Structure 1
């Protein structure tokens, strides 16, 4: 695991406009738009994040909730990060929240880090509420288990925007909205990238993410469902690497011994994918050639490995939630309807574009 500084240079006007349009659009069935944002495709700086679709279900308004109206620039806003920030995704995610708060002139931003401990995250959120937080942005550790913290926020009439991981609680009742990627689609795109990298033939190992959250479930489902279209690709083993580089490397070392037939690896985040590359090298194999590697995230380290020929493809999972999260809170406070789900746009990297777009990675 390594520390990387978040890079976030692309203007946010497109993202803000997209969210406003989405919020005003009313209730509609979810649409799967896929692909990268227009800005990301153009090869400029990182996409600030464009809302792509909204889920079915109602739209939430401040009148429905009975919450007091706030001037966010004068309010105390809390951000609860769930995991240790050795992971580049979490570094970029937190920095995006801080950057957008600064841009909007919000000077009273409380930040906490649960260090991958659910009980600590609940305690962190309650602590911020005790300190007078009037709005919250939460990156949940798991899909389940956060209800006590959400109940505490509801009791104080504090709106909560959740990002990255979808909680099983009820939108507009327990939390305002969820902002995140289409994780099923990410898995589908990874399967398509795997087909392209392997020529449609291979024995595939899956390095699963941590259990208990929708990211792992959805990325696995999307990949397997899409892989069924490619009869020459077969999943021979799957084992959790817990979204961790060291764990991914350890698991891959075991799989090399127990399944020497493996010719491709699908890692459900870049950190595990990089760990797999390290294990393959130590075993005398040539990752990217002998064993194809495809993962999800969009970290600079993984994209750089593509440019070296040691990795084959990365599907981005965009961590730049700041513009969308604060825009949702602004629109809510202004009385506009907020959809229960806002989908952020994700890019992709492979041997054809990695060298040109490596600076887009975080």
Structure 2
């Protein structure tokens, strides 16, 4: 099987030099070093500065076993390398909380890709698995497929993936909770009673495993792996391979964040910006592969407030996370892109 057979059909023309899609030329960012936070010796002043001036930092000494992340990457790459139709059939057949998506990172709560409005940019060059951790942990084992023998042969691999995801999820949730509590202290946020679990609800945590395909020289020069956006989360935690491609906007310029082995990248999302009254920023970022001959693989954890948590801020009208999520999905479906916090800011021309 050629590698292109594992890609969604819409991607296959981009893996060759024939008829690449017409997209705007994208200027490559310059390399930059982001702040580094040591989780074992967490310095609150360094953390405050990173959140205020950057909205993103690198995390070292995070305690996630290297053997676990290596095995997770191995099994994820193996599943993603299956033929496209087999991936679709397998995930549909097992009827698990896992879902397979491609062409866009904009998904609904079930992990299905949202239909995007006519103003959407060209197809986003990525595919992946959506893994809601709370649903995953409630299963002792993925159901057995009755679809066909080929699917049944892949199910042990899928079950291994589930087990590894569950273990990785426990580690990454621990990290998210520790970081949020530390960030809250830098903001003097009151987290008495159930407030911490309302602002950062572990039950909302999900993981997305991404693969960005090889591409032609022309497509690699112009096509984005993931379009410009901010995350809707409180906190997002990224583990990426050595190929790189993450870019952030600081000021009015784009910068490349080079990968560093055995570290994680933490970025703040829209909900943290709102909770902090805009003192901390949700970082604007994108993904653009530098090397067209290699794939890029990454694993990202997102965690949100409870759906009915009311976000109070002097800069925004009162809203629940459910309100925010619904508005994002409505904008994606009607306009083709996320608007985000400006929809809730009375001083913004995009306020509704």
Superposition TM-score tier, normalisation by shorter sequence: under 0.3
Q: TM-score, normalised by structure 1?
A: 0.24
Bigger share in strand: 2
